Structure 1
Amino acid sequence: MVDISRIPATEPVRIIIGAGEQRWPGWIATHRKNLDLLRPEDWAASFGHRPADAFLCEHVWEHLTEAEGRAAARLCYRWLKPGGYLRCAVPDANFPDAAYQRTARIGGPGPKNHPAAGHRIVYDYRRFADVFEQAGFAVDLLEYCDEQGRFHYHQWSPDQGPVYRSLRLDHRNRDGRLGFVSLIVDARKPA
């Protein structure tokens, strides 16, 4: 269960899902043991009395099957306030870099202890947007590569949910070179 009781009623409830080592000011970091994307009872226990204002999830959805990802999107939708959003990032199936794609592929690049070893799907922007649209969200594509591998960027604010593996924040993206990108969406629940 996520303990949101310490958040004053005047402040937003902002949750990082599957945070790993990630910590951002103003966000509560969670892990699978206290908020499992596939366990409705975890969500009910955490948000039953106070739905979240925002969720942030960076490089977690690819560890679910597509069916599990769709179920997780429905849970997020259910436990967001009207007008709330989920900012979600995954590896991009259309990023034209062979080394990146070897790492992002299903099953990852090698040993079972490698973080990418648990990849179960690699999304392109159309399929990823559909996961959230079918759950009821309005989807804004923030960063993605199209079918020709061209990178698209729409202005977004890290203040509303920083994604490290992004054009602006990742140390591998310097001097006009894209070294690592993510497919990033904002999925908004209608007000």
Structure 2
Amino acid sequence: MSLRKVIRSIVYKPKNILELIQLKAKIKNSTGKLQIIIGAHTTDYKDWLPTNIENLNLLEIDSFDNLFGDKKADRFLAEHVFEHISYDDAIIALKNCNKYLKKGGVVRIAVPDGFHPNPDYINMVKPGGHGEGAHDHKLLYDYKTLSKAFEESGYRVNLLEYYDENGQFHFNEWDSKDGHVIRSKRYDKRFNEPLGYSSLIVEGIKD
């Protein structure tokens, strides 16, 4: 093992273990709604528990088992996470979420919108695009492909914000308390600027 790996194991592993222990305790002792942010990074919302890959790996059912035990979530929120994994992996992730979601529970996903009519936007967010993080983007969803992923994973689809094939923007009222999305029509000031930045926002509901 290299010196760098040794140092990383000493410095980072205890912190990650402590965070995991604290998160597991919060989930185990939760009595109200159990609402989970996926790929939170530093995001932290009231009444939501943030997770990152160190404590919840979307592609590993054992990671869900370890974190949730016999608990199930009311809601999952993932803002600009799913564009970083392949379509096949998205199906795995959504099925794993489904297993640990209560009946009637919801997964809310926001990703870059592949039907956005502004070519500058597309060039920024497409895989290999010039926008922040786009070098790691695996695909560019539109409302059809993201809806299909939800349906293949056993969910009923609810479209919140999206562009259609004709470049027409659609908005259906949604509540920030049910999963706040910063990069959205309501909360991203760029929506009314020349770039017109927005996200494709879709929910999957477990019946």
1:124 alignment partner, one of 134, 137, 142: 142
Write out the 4+ residue segments of structure 1 that deviate beyond 3 Å after TM superposition: none
AA of the residue aligned to 2:26: R
Offset from partner CA, 1:73-109 (integer Å, 9 cap, x none): 1111111011111111110000011221111111232
Question: How far apart, CA to CA, are the structure 2 residues paired with 1:148 and 1:183?
Answer: 15
CA contact (8 A) 1:165 1:181 kept: yes
Structure with greater proportional helix content? 2
1:181 aligns with 2:206: no
Q: Which residue of 2 aligns with 1:82?
A: 103
Question: How far apart, CA to CA, are the structure 2 residues paired with 1:4 and 1:141?
Answer: 32
Question: How far apart, CA to CA, are the structure 2 residues paired with 1:68 and 1:102?
Answer: 24
1:178, CA displacement in angstroms?
6.9
Greater shift, 2-11 or 89-98, is seen at 2-11
Question: How far apart, CA to CA, are the structure 1 residues paired with 2:66 and 2:185?
Answer: 36
SS in 2 for 1:38: coil
Gaps of 5+ in 2: 1-19
TM-score if structure 1 supplies the norm length? 0.91
Question: How far apart, CA to CA, are the structure 2 residues paired with 1:21 and 1:35?
Answer: 15
> Which protein has greater RCO, CA pairs closer than 8 Å, 6+ apart?
1
1:5 aligns with 2:25: yes
2:174 alignment partner, one of 156, 176, 182: 156
1:69 aligns with 2:90: yes
CA contact (8 A) 1:144 1:184 kept: yes
1:48, CA displacement in angstroms?
2.2
Any residues of structure 2 matched to 1:1-191 within 5 Å, and which? 1=20, 3-6=23-26, 8-109=29-130, 114-174=132-192, 179-190=196-207
AA of the residue aligned to 1:5: A
CA contact (8 A) 2:84 2:137 kept: yes
SS in 2 for 1:102: helix
SS in 1 for 2:185: coil
Identity value in percent: 39
AA of the residue aligned to 1:86: V
CA contact (8 A) 1:4 1:13 kept: no
The structure with the larger Rg is 2
Question: How far apart, CA to CA, are the structure 1 residues paired with 2:102 and 2:24?
Answer: 14
SS in 2 for 1:5: helix
CA contact (8 A) 2:114 2:140 kept: yes
Question: How far apart, CA to CA, are the structure 1 residues paired with 2:171 and 2:201?
Answer: 9
Offset from partner CA, 1:104-125 (integer Å, 9 cap, x none): 1112327xxx412110000111
Question: How far apart, CA to CA, are the structure 2 residues paired with 1:146 and 1:93?
Answer: 9
Question: How far apart, CA to CA, are the structure 1 residues paired with 2:192 and 2:126?
Answer: 24
Gaps of 5+ in 1: none
